[in-house]
Amino acid sequence: MKSIFDNSTRASLIERINTLNESSTAKWGKMNIYQMLKHCTVYEEMMLGRNRYKRAFLGRLFGKIALKEFTQDESPIKKNVPTLSELKVKVTHGEVANERKKWISLLEEYPDAPCTDIVHSFFGKLTREQIGTLVYKHTDHHLRQFNS
């Protein structure tokens, strides 16, 4: 299973992120390039334990079942999977290059990040292995969304 903790996998994702620019457009979904980049930086901050959010009610009911589905195999995240409200970006414009750089910087922190005591607002408490898989899949999902 691919993981953000694998150096070559992370390098490949960063290479793909570096292809994104102001004119990148989505193949699906409602976000523009800036919103996607900002969404991903907010997501990384949650997965690195910098931001904590209240558990979603539906997550308490179905989070572990959904987590198993998301991490059971190499299949990519499906198109148009709903975004958690706290990870939605309402600002529509910003500096794409700066947000791309911030996202890459956050991804580069994973090898040294303890990734303990991480509680996803939908899935709940995560293991390091689950974090590695989810971060890889989330990153890949949005790069595929923007044709990268």
Alpha-carbon distance of 23 to 40, in angstroms, equals 18
In a domain, 2, yes or no: no
The percent of residues in the chain predicted with pLDDT above 70, rounded, is 100
In a domain, 46, yes or no: yes
Domain that holds residue 103: 7-20+27-145
In a domain, 1, yes or no: no
In a domain, 64, yes or no: yes
59: left (phi over 0), alpha (psi -120 to 50) or beta: alpha
- Whole-model pTM: value is 0.95
Please check the confidence at residue 55 and state whether its pLDDT lies above 90: no
pLDDT tens, residue by residue, 101-141: 999 999 999 999 988 889 999 999 999 999 999 999 999 99
In a domain, 14, yes or no: yes
Mean pLDDT score across all residues of the chain: 95
pLDDT tens, residue by residue, 60-91: 899 999 999 999 999 999 998 988 888 999 99
Q: What is the pLDDT of residue 58?
A: 86
Alpha-carbon distance of 55 to 84, in angstroms, equals 10
In a domain, 60, yes or no: yes
Count up the domains in the chain and report the number.
Answer: 1
Q: What is the pLDDT of residue 71?
A: 94
* Dihedral sign, Cα of residue 21, residue 132, residue 46, residue 48: negative
